[in-house]
Amino acid sequence: MTDKPTAAGGRSPGRPARPADGRAVAAALFVDLGESRGDQWIRQPRARYECLRCRTAEGPVHGQAAVANFTRSIKAEHHSRCTAIQEHSS
């Protein structure tokens, strides 16, 4: 649910909830594990990465090996080229 505590302790619908320590979601990795029957894929696995800092999407990638490689390395790879991270680190 997307809501946020208000000063009175209630909730504001439509706003992302924020943890008490002030952290916020900066990126999301979406993985669809696909569907197979026996040795045949009905729907191949797929994955994509979305950075909320620079508003960029990486992927999607399709296939078992491609998804495994993508999920293993995308965070570090994206951080090395994210314009929003580069701006804040200089």
Total domains in the fold of the chain: 1
Residue 47: pLDDT over 60: yes
**Using 50, 70 and 90 to split pLDDT, how confident is the model at 1?**
very low
Q: Residue 21 domain-assigned?
A: no
Q: Is residue 4 part of a domain?
A: no
Q: Is residue 2 in some structural domain?
A: no
- C-alpha distances out from residue 14 to 3, 5, 27, 53, 55, Å: 6, 11, 19, 20, 19
Q: Is residue 9 part of a domain?
A: no
Average pLDDT, integer, range 25-44 = 94
Q: Which domain holds residue 35?
A: 27-89
Alpha helices, DSSP H only, in 1-90?
A: 64-81, 83-89
Give a yes or no: residue 40 inside a domain.
Answer: yes
Determine, yes or no, domain membership for 74: yes
Chain segment 19-30, per-residue pLDDT in tens: 677 777 889 999
